[in-house]
Amino acid sequence: MPLKRTPPCASLQGGDSDVNPSSALTDTENEETSKVSTRHRARKRHHDDEVTVVITELKNTMEAFRNQQVSLQSSINDIQKQNNDIIKAVEFMSSQYDELKDKLVKMETERKTHLAYIQTLELKVENLERIHKQASLEIRNIPIQKTESKEELINLVQKVGKAVDVDVDSKEIRDVFRLTTKKGVASPVIVDFTSVVLKDKILTSVKSHNRAKRDNKLNTGHIGIAGQSKPIFVVECLTQAAKKVYFLAREFSKKNDYAFCWTAHGKIFVRKREGAPPRRIDSQADLDLLLSTPDK
């Protein structure tokens, strides 16, 4: 059987069918929606402003930081330049120091060489002077006469020889003279013989005479000089260096109870006591050695 169709509702087919559902919103709802949108935009603008301020502050901070970096880098560059200058100055001073050190080492080496050479020369001069004086005697404490010629001095030397039983021919005297000293002081008479043998003979005879006649040792009365008798001392002629050492040796002997101090052939000797071995003294160092290793 045929279907029966129901006609559409008038409300669906009438003029109201053209109304948009969205237009069905009320004015109140549209107003609320507008307010929400406005608030949202205001918040967004406020947020954007804050972001802009933060970004600006960050930019300023970064700019200040960059400026500090530039200033710091400039300071670092200045310090590096100063360090480089200091390094160059230190290197220059170090090179100068090395040069001076090398020069000082060279000068010290040369000084030692020169000192050794000077000591060698001094030793040679000392030996030559000792050889020159090996035949000479020094007669001390003879008063100065008003007139003293070579002949008178030769005669005086002969009288000294005769006093100790030694004949001295005038031909055996090569030279005789009196040293120049302070006025009023009896300066020594230096006599240079032609042979060392004669010199040693006179010196030995004087020592023997004085040992044998301790109460009447060689004096001015034995050679015919008027007035009060004065002791006469006959010793070897020493070099200047030997005289200095001899003086030190005598002082050392007095302070350290050494019984004997004498010279022989231009050399100085000391002895602690009778029978002890003699010790030769050539310098102050030998005396210092005696103090550290004394004779027993």
**The pLDDT of residue 41 is above 80:** no
- What's the mean pLDDT when you consider all of the chain? 84
pLDDT on residue 35: 62
pLDDT on residue 15: 45
Contact between residue 267 and residue 261 where contact means Cβ atoms under 8 Å apart: no
**The pLDDT of residue 44 is above 80:** no
User: And the tokens for 188?
Assistant: 């020594």
Kindly state the average pLDDT of the residues 123-130.
89
pLDDT on residue 11: 44
CATH topology of domain 139-237: Alpha-Beta Plaits (3.30.70)
**The pLDDT of residue 220 is above 50:** yes
Contact between residue 259 and residue 274 where contact means Cβ atoms under 8 Å apart: yes
pLDDT on residue 14: 44
pLDDT on residue 25: 47
**The pLDDT of residue 13 is above 80:** no
Contact between residue 192 and residue 173 where contact means Cβ atoms under 8 Å apart: yes
**The pLDDT of residue 60 is above 90:** no
Share of the chain above pLDDT 90, in %: 45
pLDDT on residue 187: 87
* 47-60: burial string, b at 16+ Cβ within 10 Å, e else: eeeeeeeeeeeeee
**The pLDDT of residue 261 is above 70:** yes
pLDDT on residue 33: 63
- Mean pLDDT lowest among 53-62, 204-213, 254-263: 53-62
Using pLDDT thresholds of 50, 70 and 90, give the confidence band for residue 249: very high
pLDDT on residue 295: 64
Q: In this predicted model, what pLDDT tens digit does every residue of 84-97 receive, in sequence order?
A: 999 999 999 989 99
Share of the chain above pLDDT 70, in %: 82
Q: In this predicted model, what pLDDT tens digit does every residue of 190-199 receive, in sequence order?
A: 999 999 999 9
CA 53 – CA 58 distance, rounded (Å): 8
Q: In this predicted model, what pLDDT tens digit does every residue of 104-124 receive, in sequence order?
A: 999 999 999 999 999 899 889
DSSP letters for the chain:
-PPPPPPPPHHHHSGGGG--GGGGS-HHHHHHHHHHHHHHHHHHHHHHHHHHHHHHHHHHHHHHHHHHHHHHHHHHHHHHHHHHHHHHHHHHHHHHHHHHHHHHHHHHHHHHHHHHHHHHHHHHHHHHHHHHHTTEEEEE-PPPPSS--HHHHHHHHHHHHHHTT----GGGEEEEEE---STTS-PPEEEEES-HHHHHHHHHHHHHHHHHTTTS-SBGGGGT--SS--B-EEEE---HHHHHHHHHHHHHHHHTT-SEEEEETTEEEEESSTTSPPEEE-SHHHHHHHHHS---
**The pLDDT of residue 3 is above 60:** no
pLDDT on residue 67: 85
pLDDT on residue 7: 52
Q: In this predicted model, what pLDDT tens digit does every residue of 176-190 receive, in sequence order?
A: 999 877 666 788 999
| Domain boundaries defined on the chain | 43-133, 139-237, 238-296
Contact between residue 239 and residue 126 where contact means Cβ atoms under 8 Å apart: yes
- Mean pLDDT lowest among 33-37, 61-65, 148-152: 33-37
**The pLDDT of residue 202 is above 80:** yes
pLDDT on residue 158: 94
